[in-house]
Amino acid sequence: MWAFIDKVNALYPPGAVDFSIEEQRALYNDVCRVFYQGRPAGVSSWDEDHGGVPCRRYELCESDVTLIYLHGGGNVVGDLDSHDDVCAEICDRTGYRVIAVDYGLAPEVVYPGCFNDGWSAFTAVAEAFDGHLMLAGDSAGGTLAAAIVHHARRRVAGRIIGQILIYPSLGGDMTRGSFVRYANAPHLTTQDVIYFIDQRLGGAEPPKGDGCFAPLQDAEFSGLPPTVCISAQCDPLAGEGETYCDKLRAAGGRAEWINVPGMVHGCLRARGISPAAAGFFDTVVEAIDALGQGRWPYQ
């Protein structure tokens, strides 16, 4: 993991949020290319629009489960290519149809624009494909996946059978817990989180009690599908998954928080060089696979 941390830092140095948006995107794309794992043989993919939003579909075989994936990147960086190998491998290992969504990024698109893109894509996918739906996302993509699930619970009743959130940012209290304990963690600091939120808002004040912006600020946590939050221990966002799962269980739902020791934010990319990071990704895939089958393998 230290080799991974050092290699990422050499490509996307600490404090990169001080660079221009164009420089941040170029550096992030370099990181994605260096750690790209390729697509497994047999997985087909093509680009298509859903709800007017660019998307990429991955298929291995016929499936009655469609997983909608929202990529991370702080709502500032990332695209269909940045998580191409992640989505292709999830498709290969589960057999589920995967549709990645290229929602608009800040500062060009600010809230609620990114949510509107995600919601438009989700509703179009729900109309285009029969069967079960799941949502997954990492980091800022986890924020958006959870926001869509909250908004959809009374609009697409029974269709969503699970959500899998990978080191998500959910709008918790940034003055305590992991935000303090891991304020200066590798690859994402608490100050970085604040920067990305400000970019997402375009400098505006955060909305209050808006679950589409910050799922932890929603007033209602009942009626949500089975949820697995998988966090990296050394990450200011680690406690977000714990708080969120506690709220879902208190409201009578099924939720499991898995905090993986020794991992850092963005460790999905380390799975090719770190056995522990490969295990982290195994945990993600196993959760997706189980929820897609309607199984709950947790105590």
First to last CA, the chain: 29
User: pTM for the whole thing?
Assistant: 0.97
Asked: is 2-292 a CATH 3.40.50.1820 domain? The reply is yes
pLDDT tens profile 51-78 = 999 999 999 999 999 999 999 999 999 9
79 and 71 in contact (C-beta within 8 Å)?
A: yes
Do residues 71 and 266 make contact, with C-beta atoms less than 8 angstroms apart? no
CA separation for the pair 298, 228 (Å, rounded):
10
* 3 state DSSP class of 219: coil
pLDDT classification of 216: cutoffs 50, 70, 90 = very high
Active-site annotation holder among 82, 139, 178, 231: 139
* Cα–Cα nearest to 170, from 113, 100, 105, 246: 246
Question: Quick check: is 139 catalytic?
Answer: yes
Contacts of residue 287, defined as CB under 8 A and 6 or more positions apart, other chains included, come to 164, 228, 230, 256, 258
Percentages of the chain per state (helix, strand, coil), in multiples of 5: 40, 20, 40
d(CA 145, CA 134): 9
pLDDT band with cut points at 50, 70 and 90 for residue 247: very high
Alpha-carbon torsion 222, 223, 226, 232, what sign?
A: negative
Alpha helices, H only, 57-174: 84-94, 113-128, 140-152
Residue-range domain boundaries for the chain: 2-292
**Model pLDDT, residue 299:** 83
